[in-house]
Structure 1
Amino acid sequence: MDKTWRKGYGLEIPAQAPTLVMSSKFYRNQSRENWHAHEAAQLLFCTRGVVRVLTPQSSWTLGPLRAIWLPSDCPHELHALGDIQVLNLYMDRHSGDAFWPECHSLHVSPLMNELLQNLLLAQTATSANPSRAALIVPLLFDELKNTPDSPVCKLPLPTDRRLLSICELMLATPDNNATLDFWGNKVGASSRTLTRLFREQTGMTFARWRQQLRLSEAIAQLAQGDTVMSVANKLGYHSPSAFISMFKKSLGETPQRYLRT
């Protein structure tokens, strides 16, 4: 096995071989890794807790066993929403090009989880086992390619300065019910213009974007121990059942099941 190493962001990644490198890391609540990028492609997911990953285009809020694929050289930032355990798979650029050219969300199946955990053991145990790792890799690649997309809370971020200003203000106050007419007066644009820009730059209506924002905030608050009733009240829902219905419609599961490891 090649023993030439290069260092980056606290992780030693081999310059040539092996193709895949695993790492596991624990983060305390509210800790973060600031903006950075890797030459390697990266698969990142929480084995415990909830993580928020920011990219230049979107904010992704991922519950347990929901993963994000970050292609080579993709800038990103990580926020821990509660105490979390993160598992990372780093893949060389050539191998990563066989998967997704852009950020992509997926569900970590039980088989994929076991393969990744065993690959981590094969690479980091006291007596590393390259031959075992070599057996795991082909099946892991096949599982990755055949894993369906996973519903996750993805919040697209616009580039228009007026729209971005509105989004930043709403991110600070997710329970805000102000209309586009109100925001238009704030930033000097008509509600018609803002409506068009929201669709063009986020792929969502303003109402849908605000719902995704509240969903992201709800996951963050639930991950840090707030009750469903408390979160529903904070975000302006008339009842916990209305909030649970919205959550299940968006993510396919109730809040309790979604956050269950």
Structure 2
Amino acid sequence: MKTEKFENLEPVWRQRFLPIRTDAENPVVARMWDFEDGFRDPWHAHEEAQLIYVTRGVARALTQNGIWTLAPFQAIWVPPGVLHELHAIGEVTARTAYVDVNAAPEFRAWTQCKVVQVGPLLDALLVAVAVSTGDRDTRRTTLALPLLRLELSSARPALSGTLPLPADRRLRGVCEQLLLCPENNDTIDVWGVRVGASARTLARLFRDETGLSFGQWRQQLRLVEAVARLAQGTPVAAVAVELGYQSPSAFTSMFRKTLGASPQRYLRQRESP
């Protein structure tokens, strides 16, 4: 599976706010979607916060500050007004909830993107609210919403494929090329020559702007790409080769050290909430 192209990491700065009908009585509106492989929802923002939750396939959410790869039963919280884009990797089933944080004060402190694990109860509540939308009988929604808000506000953080993006144009160029070719093993010295900066400058900027070294950033890129490819059924040996590892055992060792499980076991854990 080839990585989808990332040439347009810079959002169009004409904010496209998509209207969602929330109000004080219904501060959460839920929807359910199916996306085809390759679907791309271009840069946009909402006046409400948005929870994007995947139940099948892999989705990738982009903001100007980072990229998040969502395996099944993981959800990303996108605060109000944050420009974002969504990519479907394979066929994706997703649920989404729009939250008016002014009417749901427990979420006002959620001002940064965050990934949470969705359990069976929260999953069922999202479905219940989604299928009840538009019903004349609002009793189900009225009963479900308080519990949905409680479950979401207490959802535990997920070990996610988060990839921070730098602002510096030279680093941005390096990152965009590595996103297109994650198997690239060129040293930071080689990249410095290409973008017109010393290796020392690039190394400092990587730590300052992403919190990671160049090597750590590239490893994190390969990790999130590996999760996406494995979730689509690509064999471990093929993923190892595609991502530039010398052997499947070297790839498996990195995967286990970072995520605490072998690739096969990690995927089994993702098969149910």
Same-fold call, TM cutoff 0.5: yes
1:137 equivalent among 133, 137, 145 = 145
1:251 equivalent among 247, 255, 259 = 259
The answer to whether the aligner puts 1:44 opposite 2:55 as a matched pair is no
8 Å contact 1:62–1:153 — kept in the other structure?
yes
The answer to whether the aligner puts 1:122 opposite 2:122 as a matched pair is no
Question: Match of 1:110, as an amino acid?
Answer: P
8 Å contact 2:19–2:46 — kept in the other structure?
no
The answer to whether the aligner puts 1:62 opposite 2:70 as a matched pair is yes
- Inter-partner Cα distance in structure 2 for 1:97 and 1:179: 47
Aligned to 1:234: 242
8 Å contact 1:49–1:259 — kept in the other structure?
no
Mapping for residues 73-222 of structure 1, pairs under 5 Å: 73-95=81-103, 98-99=106-107, 100-123=110-133, 127=135, 129-222=137-230
Post-superposition shift, 1:227?
Answer: 1.2
Q: What is the aligned-residue identity percentage?
A: 45
Over residues 213-237 of structure 1, what are the superposed CA-to-partner deviations in whole Å (9 max), with x where a residue is unaligned?
A: 1112212322333211110111122
- Inter-partner Cα distance in structure 2 for 1:258 and 1:197: 36
Give 3-state SS (helix, strand or coil) of 1:189's partner. coil
8 Å contact 2:23–2:103 — kept in the other structure?
no
Q: 1:157 to 1:137 in 2, by over 3 A?
A: same
234-243 vs 136-145, greater mean Cα deviation: 234-243
List alignment gaps of at least 5 residues for structure 2: 1-15
List alignment gaps of at least 5 residues for structure 1: 1-7
Post-superposition shift, 1:96?
Answer: 5.4
Question: Match of 1:64, as an amino acid?
Answer: P
Give 3-state SS (helix, strand or coil) of 2:230's partner. helix
Q: 1:27 to 1:102 in 2, by over 3 A?
A: same
Over residues 85-136 of structure 1, what are the superposed CA-to-partner deviations in whole Å (9 max), with x where a residue is unaligned?
A: 1100111141455320111111111221122122222325xx4542221211
- Inter-partner Cα distance in structure 2 for 1:186 and 1:37: 34
Give 3-state SS (helix, strand or coil) of 2:256's partner. helix
- Inter-partner Cα distance in structure 2 for 1:254 and 1:143: 30
- Inter-partner Cα distance in structure 1 for 2:221 and 2:84: 19
8 Å contact 1:52–1:81 — kept in the other structure?
yes
Q: 1:143 to 1:93 in 2, by over 3 A?
A: closer
Question: Match of 1:218, as an amino acid?
Answer: A
8 Å contact 1:41–1:96 — kept in the other structure?
no
8 Å contact 1:151–1:250 — kept in the other structure?
no
- Inter-partner Cα distance in structure 2 for 1:11 and 1:47: 25
Aligned to 1:3: none
Q: 1:114 to 1:66 in 2, by over 3 A?
A: same
Query: What root-mean-square deviation, in Å, do the aligned CA atoms of Structure 1 and Structure 2 show?
Result: 2.0
Question: Match of 1:83, as an amino acid?
Answer: E
8 Å contact 2:20–2:98 — kept in the other structure?
no
8 Å contact 2:60–2:89 — kept in the other structure?
yes
156-165 vs 90-99, greater mean Cα deviation: 90-99
More strand per residue: 1
- Inter-partner Cα distance in structure 2 for 1:181 and 1:12: 48
Aligned to 2:79: 71
Q: 1:97 to 1:248 in 2, by over 3 A?
A: farther
With normalisation by structure 1, the TM-score equals 0.89
Residue correspondences, number: 252
